[in-house]
Amino acid sequence: MGLYFGTDGLRGIVNEDLTLEIASKIGNALGMLKHKPTIIVGSDTRISNSYLTAGLACGAMKAGAKVIDIGVCPTPGIAYITKEYKADYGVVISASHNSGEYNGIKVFGSEGYKLGDKEEERIERCFIHEKTNDFPDIGSYEQNFNLVKTYKNFLINASKKSLKGLTIVLDCAFGASHRIAPEVFRALGATVIATNCMNDGLKINKNCGALYPQSLAKKVLKYRADVGFSFDGDADRLIAVDEKGNIIDGDMIIYGLAKYYKKTGLLKGNAVVGTSHTNMAIEIALKKEGLDLIRTDIGDKYVLMKLLEKDLSIGGEQSGHIILKDVATTGDGMLSAITVANMILSENKTFSEALDVKLYPQSNKNVIVKDKFRIMNNEDIIKEIAKFNAELEGKGRIMLRASGTEPKIRVMVESQDAELNERIANEVVGKVVAINEMN
């Protein structure tokens, strides 16, 4: 990671951490890295999107780039369109699951993959010297909102069968999928109950979507639906709900899809990719199916790297970033939901019957800190973690990590004993808070 880019692009509160100047510098850098590049740019529904898009476009045009603004589009849609259109870069203006005051910038290369750490560092180095082209070599800007239909058609064609007979509740978090998701699932024949499916950047991710699936669970029960799908603001995550109202996280979805892929002959390598956060119960359940779990650092870019390295089919995170590598270049909430719906129909089972694994309880806590790296390298914290790892040895584990996108330390304790998890997590949080206040 560089000074500006984190584990998933650049993100922060608008006009505090993420300014118009930074957006302009990123656009200008992209214009410098290739000769007169074509840049696709799209966004979710945040009210700051046009502001940051204008800044990025101006910086890019100063360096001679052609900017094509496709408007509101999910992150995976921009990755797909960038590749299909043979553009040089795709840029997403979105803060994903964060609330409305945040925004962010993600950059995809010409093949639809997120830029790696070294490429992001190259962009940052270009911040030092801006490029300004003279007439007539300045760039251009145009809008082409019809390009989103290309992605919509891809999603419809990705379904192996009609979804007729399924009743599906969708929670689009007032974000980028608010229009396209209901259209796609209705086009596939499903009965759709749409909720939080309006273009409202002030409400994006607010007590809804993938981070707050509890209200979706109530609606699934109310309408006696077969399944519920919730997306985050840029629709690269999926958290589902089964017909009994149980919340199904990314770990469970990966487990279900791995079994489904194996039965249908689509699974490569008899393995899937998860992260250090993937629930231990999933690893055990996969073993019983003759499948391995390969863990990476947290961050979907690291999951993708391992999928490409090992030529595997499925990988993802507990948070709902799921990458179906053989058909997509990045996590895609709607594509994952379509695949889950296909699984339910193919298995001729209810969603709950298809997922016969009980997760280990986890205690997850976040602590806002002044300097997350100072906390992570603190000797007392390191000793504390070692002590609890020894206590949990053979029956659980503890993880402490710095958020890649926010000023937070994340604590996770996992074992079959929920009370033990909570006790240890609270003790670690107390230690982090005490050290954070010593300054």
As annotated, the active-site residues are: 96
On the 0-12 / 13-18 / 19+ scale of CB atoms within 10 A, 239 is buried
Cα 315 → chain centroid = 12
3-state secondary structure of 327: coil
Please report the sign of the dihedral spanned by the C-alpha atoms of residue 376, residue 380, residue 383, residue 385.
negative
Contacts of 387 (CB under 8 A, 6+ apart): none
The two tokens of residue 369 are: 């800190």
The number of residues making up the chain comes to: 439
Report the first-to-last Cα separation within the chain, whole angstroms.
26
What secondary structure letter does DSSP report for 416?
A: S
Distance CA 215, CA 209 (A): 9
Distance CA 17, CA 15 (A): 6
C-alpha separations of 234 from 172, 191, 331 in Å:
9, 23, 11
% helix, strand, coil for the chain, step of 5: 40, 25, 35
Distance CA 163, CA 161 (A): 6
Distance CA 236, CA 39 (A): 20
Q: Please say whether the beta carbons of 57 and 91 come within 8 A.
A: no
What is the phi/psi pair of residue 28, to 5°? -65, -40
Pairing status of strand 102-108 against strand 167-171: unpaired
Distance CA 212, CA 199 (A): 18
One DSSP character per residue, 79-129 reads HHHHHHHT-SEEEEE--TTS-TTEEEEEEE-TTSPBP-HHHHHHHHHTTSS
Place of tokens 């670690």: 428
Contacts of 256 (CB under 8 A, 6+ apart): 248, 340, 343, 354, 355
- SS3 for 240-273 is EECCCCCEECHHHHHHHHHHHHHHHCCCCCCEEE
